[in-house]
Structure 1
Amino acid sequence: MSSSPLNTLAQTLKSLHRPGDPLMLTNTYDALTTRIIAANPLAPALATASYAIAASAGLEDDALDLPTNLAGIRAIAAVANEFKKPLTADFQDGYGDRLEEGVRELIQAGVVGMNLEDYGREKGALYDIATACGRIKAVLRTAGELGVPDFVVNARTDALLHGGSVADAVERGRAYLAAGATTVFVWGGRARGGIRREEVKQLADAFGGMLNVSLRLDEVDEKGGKNLTRRELGELGVARISVGPGLQAKAMAAFKREAEKVLGV
C-alpha cells in the first residue's frame, strides 16, 4: 500500500525529534485536556499518558486493558484530528499478541506514533532483546501496510527497574533504534530516583541524542535534590521530553483544593 495522507503527520512528528532541541510533549488524558494543549501554538504535537488514562477510568496503570486504553485514545485523537496535529499514544507493552491489532486501531483513529514498553505484563518479565526488536518491527510493518511507513515508535526499556544497569539499557536501546524505533525512553522509576544527570548524558551520547526523558514538574525531588529543567535536558542533547501523568497530578491537586473550598462554605 502506498503512503497515506496520515503519513505526512507521522513525518512531521518524526522531524520534531531533534537532539539538543527536544520536542516537548505535555501528555494529556481526555478530550478536555487535549483541547487545551492542541489550541496552544507552542505545542506542535500531542501525546497520551496511559497512567493518566487509567486513573481517569478508575484503574491502576497495570490494570489498563486494551479496550479501555483505546477508548481514551480515540477521544484524544478526535481532538488531535480536529487541530491537525500529530498524536503519539502511550500503548504500554502492546498487549501481548494483540499488538498488531492495536496498531491498526490506533492508525484508524489517526494516531501516528506510540510508546512501546519492553516489559511484558502477561510474561511478567522483560522481553529478550530479539523479541522486543521483533515487536518494534511488527509495529512498523503493520503501519507500513496501512500507509504510514514513518510511524514513530518511542521504545521504552524498563531494564533499570528489573535489576539491569545503564549499560544494559544502552544495549537494548541501541538494538531498538536499529530495529526502527525513532527514540528510546529509559524509565528510571521513582523508587530509583529517576535518571541522574550523568546518566542522561551517557544515554543521549549512546543513542545519538535520540533519547526521551521524563521531565519532573517540581523544581526539587522528594529528597530535596534539584530536578533537571527542560533547558538543561536540551543542553544534554536529548531529542524528546515528556511529562507522563505529571500534569494530571497537578490538575487533581488543584481540583481538590477548590473542592475543599466549596465544601467548606
Structure 2
Amino acid sequence: MSGQPSTQNDLALQLRSLHRPGIPLILTNIWDAISARAIASLPRTRALATASYAIAAAAGLDDVELDLATNLHAIKGVARVAKATNLPLTVDFMDGFGDKLEEGVKEVIKLGAVGINLEDFERETNGLYSVGEAQERVRRVLRVAAEEGVPDFVVNARTDALIGGQDIDEAISRGKAYLEAGAANVFIWSGRERGGTSREEVEKASKALGGRLNVILLRAVPGGLTVKELSEIGVARISVGPQLMLKTAKGVEEEARSILDGEAV
C-alpha cells in the first residue's frame, strides 16, 4: 500500500475495519524487517502482524523466554517497514509481560503499532488469569492507547482456555467477556498438542462471538480448514503464526545443504 501517510489512529481504524466476519483479514505473520518487506510487497497484504514464537526463535529463544526488550527490538525493524508502506501493524504481545503491560504498550505505540495480541495466560504463574483480571488488562491497554492518541487501538484477545484443560464453552465465555471489555476480536488458541480446533468448535465459537474470531490457518495439517471454508464459517481474522518462519528456515537449510554438498550451480 502506498499514498499519503495516515495518522496512527487512522491506521487503527483501518485495521479495525478489516475485521469483517465472512470476509476475514488474512495475516501472514512476520518476525523481522526482511520478512516484513517481503509480505508488504504483496498486493493483497492489508496489514502486518508479528508472531512471538517466530521472533523468539530468531533471537535464539523459546517462545516462553521472549522478554519485552527482545520483542520491542524486533518490532522496531518491522515498524519501519510498516511506516514506509503505510500498512497497519499489529504485534504479538503475548501475556503483556506482567507488570510491564502499560510500559510495553506505550512503547509499541511509539514504534507505530495500532494493535496487539494479548493472552489471558500468565507466564509467571503458569495459569490463566481470572476472567475479571483478564478483562481489566484489556481495559488497561485501551486506556493507555487512548492516552497515547490511539483511541481505536485494536486488541485481539487470546484465550488459552482450551490448552488449560477447559472446553470450548469456557473459551467462548471468556471471549465474550473480553469483547465486553473492549477487545475487537477473540483468538481461541488450542495448542499444537491438541491438534488444533475442530470445525465444530470453530463454527460454534464463530456463531457465539458474532464472527469476531481469529483462527490459525494450519498449512501443514491434512484436513485443516481452508481460507474459503473459514470465510464461509464467518470468521473475521485468519493468521498463520510461525509457520512461514518454520518453512523459511527449512528452505534455507535445504539450499545450504545443496551448496555444501557441491550440488548448487
Partner of 2:189: 187
Partner of 1:72: 74
TM-score by length of 2: 0.96
Please give the alpha-carbon distance, in whole angstroms, between the structure 1 residues aligned to 2:144 and 2:231: 32
2:256 counterpart (247, 254, 259)? 259
Once the two structures are TM-superposed, the CA of residue 157 in structure 1 deviates from its matched residue by: 0.2
Partner of 1:161: 163
Once the two structures are TM-superposed, the CA of residue 264 in structure 1 deviates from its matched residue by: 0.3
Please give the alpha-carbon distance, in whole angstroms, between the structure 2 residues aligned to 1:192 and 1:217: 16
Partner of 1:114: 116
Q: Secondary structure of 1:159's partner?
A: coil
Q: Deviations over 1:5-29 (max 9, x none)?
A: 2100000000000000000000000
Once the two structures are TM-superposed, the CA of residue 256 in structure 1 deviates from its matched residue by: 0.7
Please give the alpha-carbon distance, in whole angstroms, between the structure 2 residues aligned to 1:180 and 1:123: 25
Partner of 1:200: 202
Please give the alpha-carbon distance, in whole angstroms, between the structure 2 residues aligned to 1:34 and 1:124: 31
Partner of 1:39: 41
Q: Deviations over 1:27-84 (max 9, x none)?
A: 0000000001111120010000000000000000000000000100111011101101
Partner of 2:241: 244
Please give the alpha-carbon distance, in whole angstroms, between the structure 1 residues aligned to 2:53 and 2:256: 23
Give the RMSD, CA atoms, in angstroms.
Answer: 0.9
Partner of 1:226: 223
Structure 1 runs (4+) deviating above 2 angstroms are none
TM-score by length of 1: 0.96
Q: Deviations over 1:128-156 (max 9, x none)?
A: 00000000000000000111010000000
Once the two structures are TM-superposed, the CA of residue 261 in structure 1 deviates from its matched residue by: 0.3
Partner of 2:136: 134
Partner of 2:3: none
Please give the alpha-carbon distance, in whole angstroms, between the structure 1 residues aligned to 2:70 and 2:246: 20
Which structure 1 segments of 5+ residues have no match?
none
Structure 1 vs Structure 2: percent identity of aligned residues?
A: 56
